[in-house]
Structure 1
Amino acid sequence: MAQDQPTAQDGPIAQVKTAPAQRAVIAPKTVVYGTVTLSQESQTVLSLPYAAQITRLHASAGQTVHRGDVLFVARADPGAVLVAEQARNAVVLARGEVERTRVLLAQRLATRSQLAAAEKTLADAEQALAAQRQLGADTGERPVRAPHDGVVVKVVAAQGDRVAPGAVVLQLGHTGAAVPVRVTLGLDPALRRAVPVGAAVAVTSLAAPAGASSAPLTGRVRRVQAAINPQSRLVDTSVELAPGGGADLIPGEPVRGVITLTGGEHWVVPRLAVLQDAKGAHVYQVEAGHARRVPVQVRVDDGAHLGVDGALQGGQALVVQGNYQLSDGMAVREVGQ
Structure 2
Amino acid sequence: MLARRGSLPRVIEGYGQATPSANGVATLSVQQPGQVTAIPAVAGTHVAAGQPVVVFAVAPSAGSLYLQAEGAVRAAESQRATTAQLVTQQLATRDQLVQAEKAVVDARVARAALAKEGAGAATITLRAPFAGVVNTLPVATGDRTQPGQALATIARAGAMIVTVGVDPASRADLRIGAPVSLNRLDGGAGVAGRVQRIDAMLNPRTRQIDVDIAYPAGTILSGEAMRVEIETGRAEGWLVPHRAVVVDSNGKAQVFQIAGGKAKAVPVTVEVARADNDLVSGKLDAHARLIVDGAYQLADGDAVRR
TM bucket normalised to smaller: 0.7 to 0.9
Instruction: Select 1:238's aligned residue among 203, 208, 212.
Output: 212
Identify the residue that residue 194 of structure 1 maps to in structure 2.
170
State TM-score, norm by structure 2. 0.76
Residues 26 and 307, structure 1, Cα contact 8 Å, conserved in 2: no
Matched, 1:306 2:278: yes
Deviation at 1:24, TM superposition (A): 6.3
Identify the residue that residue 46 of structure 1 maps to in structure 2.
28
Identify the residue that residue 290 of structure 2 maps to in structure 1.
320
1:65–1:228 CA distance, 2 compared to 1 (3 A) = same
Matched, 1:203 2:179: no
Deviation at 1:259, TM superposition (A): 1.0
Deviation at 1:89, TM superposition (A): 0.7
Instruction: Select 1:98's aligned residue among 80, 90, 95.
Output: 80
Matched, 1:162 2:138: no
Deviation at 1:200, TM superposition (A): 3.7
1:79-94 aligned at under 5 Å gives the runs 79-94=61-76
Task: Find the residue that maps to 2:290 and give its secondary structure.
Answer: strand
Supply the distance in 1 between the matched residues of 2:231 and 2:219 (Cα, whole angstroms): 27
Matched, 1:127 2:106: no
Residues 52 and 163, structure 1, Cα contact 8 Å, conserved in 2: yes
Residues 160 and 217, structure 2, Cα contact 8 Å, conserved in 1: yes
State TM-score, norm by structure 1. 0.70
Supply the distance in 2 between the matched residues of 1:155 and 1:331 (Cα, whole angstroms): 67
Residue segments in structure 2 that go unaligned for 5+ positions in a row: none
Offset from partner CA, 1:147-189 (integer Å, 9 cap, x none): 23322100122323332222211101222xxx2442245x5x7
Supply the distance in 1 between the matched residues of 2:221 and 2:266 (Cα, whole angstroms): 51
Deviation at 1:300, TM superposition (A): 3.8
Deviation at 1:206, TM superposition (A): 6.0
Supply the distance in 2 between the matched residues of 1:192 and 1:141 (Cα, whole angstroms): 52
Task: Find the residue that maps to 1:306 and give its secondary structure.
Answer: strand
Aligned residues: 296
Bigger CA radius of gyration = 1
Deviation at 1:332, TM superposition (A): 10
Amino acid at match of 1:217: V
Matched, 1:249 2:220: yes
Offset from partner CA, 1:33-86 (integer Å, 9 cap, x none): 544322122211101122222233333311332333322222223332222112
1:83–1:264 CA distance, 2 compared to 1 (3 A) = same
Backbone CA RMSD of aligned residues: 3.9
Deviation at 1:322, TM superposition (A): 7.1
Deviation at 1:97, TM superposition (A): 0.8
Identify the residue that residue 9 of structure 1 maps to in structure 2.
none
Q: Percent identity?
A: 28
Task: Find the residue that maps to 1:117 and give its secondary structure.
Answer: helix
1:16-55 aligned at under 5 Å gives the runs 17-20=1-4, 22=5, 27=10, 30=13, 33-55=15-37
Supply the distance in 2 between the matched residues of 1:68 and 1:264 (Cα, whole angstroms): 47
Residues 9 and 231, structure 2, Cα contact 8 Å, conserved in 1: no
Identify the residue that residue 155 of structure 2 maps to in structure 1.
173
Identify the residue that residue 282 of structure 1 maps to in structure 2.
254
Offset from partner CA, 1:286-328 (integer Å, 9 cap, x none): 7799864323354541334334455x16x76453357858953
Which has the larger displacement, 72-81 or 84-93?
72-81
Supply the distance in 2 between the matched residues of 1:238 and 1:92 (Cα, whole angstroms): 55
Supply the distance in 2 between the matched residues of 1:150 and 1:59 (Cα, whole angstroms): 12
Matched, 1:296 2:274: no
Identify the residue that residue 183 of structure 1 maps to in structure 2.
162
